[in-house]
């Protein structure tokens, strides 16, 4: 039986425009005009050599050093009277496993009792494919990571908890502002032919086959001192391809690095009070390799339904980013994200106010009834992996020359 832990966070956005100035005016509410806000960052890098990297499911892709350290970034928002609070964590890891979450929650409970719980702690991975593996409990991940790697698991658990500790210790009265805008020249749909299988009526709702909108949450204290930000944007952190052996946080991590270095001037990476998280959102099949797929042996395009090359087959079809190599592409895409976030951050004026709510629900995704229309409904079934799953994608091809589109 497949169970998914679904955590819901709701912030009620209330923004009124002054009829005379046209500027945002904060509406009074039970939460008042301010929240209690805490931010924190801690290292979660883990073992740097001879462990598989998490993301491309290639057991032979082993870590062989560090290009950039990995961090957990925590943000706590509480009601002014501290009656309710919510924690959001974005960690430079592939994704959050259930085992990882259980161990984090166990440590938090031993420290804080019932203050931080299933229903008010949200853990998110940036989805970098260049961090240590070995912290999952599901078979398919255990196989590619060659089993449990306790040092890797411990590093992520301890890093997440420490980042929450730091945020908890630095709670102060502050304000939240939200802004959003479009990011260009940073992403493509890596499965465009599959996307075309969606009904035309659905596709016509959107101007593109990827979501180009960045949403940014800005945090300042009551005196205007900058605390941090969370940016959500749909992009895979796979500018570093499956030939990479250096631990790093990829394009979104580089964006965090640029923003934090700007705000924490004169300090080393990972130091300073300002915390900038470039968190994952609806990034499925959204690639940063904007030059598209080409055959690495001949240079010709392999932008076809099966991502297949005439010579060498599917394993020769790979997408490339805008730079001269994967390192350059990582910086180029990361800089694009940073510059857009900087613009949104600077211009953010819509204040977030209102009561704070969070909830947690377990959902059996293999037994859900979906109402399709007034007369028809459908029901989910047990999960399965199709043939094309084994083919991988143009960002990282699979094994045995399986092909996409079948």
User: The tokens of 6 are what?
Assistant: 């679904």
Torsion sign across C-alpha atoms 163, 327, 185, 132: negative
Residue of 124, 287, 307, 329 marked active site: 287
- In the residue annotation, 287 being an active-site residue is answered as yes
- Strand pairing class (317-320; 292-295): antiparallel
- Strand pairing class (172-182; 121-125): unpaired
- Cα gap 96→279, rounded to integer Å: 13
- Strand pairing class (226-232; 317-320): unpaired
- Strand pairing class (275-279; 350-352): unpaired
- Cα gap 114→68, rounded to integer Å: 35
Spacing of C-alpha 159 from chain mean position? 17
* 179 closest CA partner among 228, 220, 231: 231
Element (H, E) at 403: none
Torsion sign across C-alpha atoms 361, 367, 373, 375: negative
Whole-number CA gyration radius for the chain: 22
127 is an annotated ligand-binding site residue: yes
User: The tokens of 10 are what?
Assistant: 């709701």
Contact (CB, 8 A) for 335 and 254: yes
Q: Is 82 exposed, middle or buried (0-12, 13-18, 19+ CB in 10 A)?
A: exposed
DSSP letters for 320-386? E-SSSSHHHHHHHHHHHHHHHHHHHHHH--EEE-S-EEEEEEEEETTS-EEE-SSS-EEE-------
376 is an annotated ligand-binding site residue: no
Neighbours of 292 (CB within 10 A): 15
Contact (CB, 8 A) for 89 and 42: no
- Cα gap 330→248, rounded to integer Å: 10
Which residues define the annotated binding site for Zn(2+)? 127, 236
Residue ranges of the annotated binding site are 127, 236
Residues with active-site annotation: 287
């Amino acid at each position: 039986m497949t169970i998914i832990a679904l955590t819901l966070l709701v912030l009620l956005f209330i923004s009124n425009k002054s009829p005379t100035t046209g500027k945002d005016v904060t509406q009074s509410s039970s939460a008042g005009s301010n929240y209690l806000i805490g931010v924190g960052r801690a290292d979660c890098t883990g073992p740097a050599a001879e462990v598989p990297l998490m993301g491309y499911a290639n057991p032979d892709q082993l870590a062989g050093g560090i290009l950039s350290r990995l961090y957990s970034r925590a943000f706590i928002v509480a009601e002014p009277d501290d009656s309710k609070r919510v924690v959001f964590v974005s960690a430079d890891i592939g994704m959050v496993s259930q085992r990882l979450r259980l161990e984090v929650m166990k440590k938090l409970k031993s420290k804080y009792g019932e203050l931080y719980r299933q229903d008010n702690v949200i853990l998110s991975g940036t989805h970098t494919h260049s961090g240590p593996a070995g912290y999952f409990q599901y078979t398919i991940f255990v196989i590619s990571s060659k089993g449990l790697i306790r040092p890797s698991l411990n590093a992520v658990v301890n890093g997440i908890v420490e980042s929450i500790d730091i945020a908890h210790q630095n709670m102060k009265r502050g304000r939240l502002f939200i802004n959003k805008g479009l990011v260009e020249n940073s992403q493509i749909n890596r499965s465009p032919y599959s996307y075309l299988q969606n009904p035309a009526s659905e596709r016509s709702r959107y101007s593109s086959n990827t979501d180009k909108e960045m949403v940014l949450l800005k945090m300042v204290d009551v005196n205007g001192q900058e605390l941090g930000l969370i940016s959500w944007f749909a992009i895979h952190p796979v500018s570093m391809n499956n030939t990479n052996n250096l631990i790093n946080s990829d394009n979104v991590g580089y964006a965090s690095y640029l923003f934090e270095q700007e705000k924490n001037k004169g300090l080393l990476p990972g130091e300073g009070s300002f915390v900038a998280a470039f968190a994952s959102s609806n990034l499925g099949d959204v690639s940063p390799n904007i030059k598209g797929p080409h055959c690495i042996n001949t240079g010709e395009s392999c932008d076809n339904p099966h991502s297949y090359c005439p010579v060498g087959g599917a394993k020769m079809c790979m997408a490339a980013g805008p730079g001269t190599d994967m390192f350059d592409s990582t910086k180029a895409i990361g800089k694009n994200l940073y510059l857009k976030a900087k613009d949104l951050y600077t211009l953010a004026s819509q204040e977030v106010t209102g009561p704070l709510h969070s909830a947690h629900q377990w959902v059996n995704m293999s037994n859900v009834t979906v109402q399709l229309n007034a007369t028809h409904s459908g029901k989910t079934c047990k999960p399965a992996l199709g043939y094309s799953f084994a083919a991988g994608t143009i960002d990282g091809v699979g094994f045995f020359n399986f092909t996409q589109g079948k």
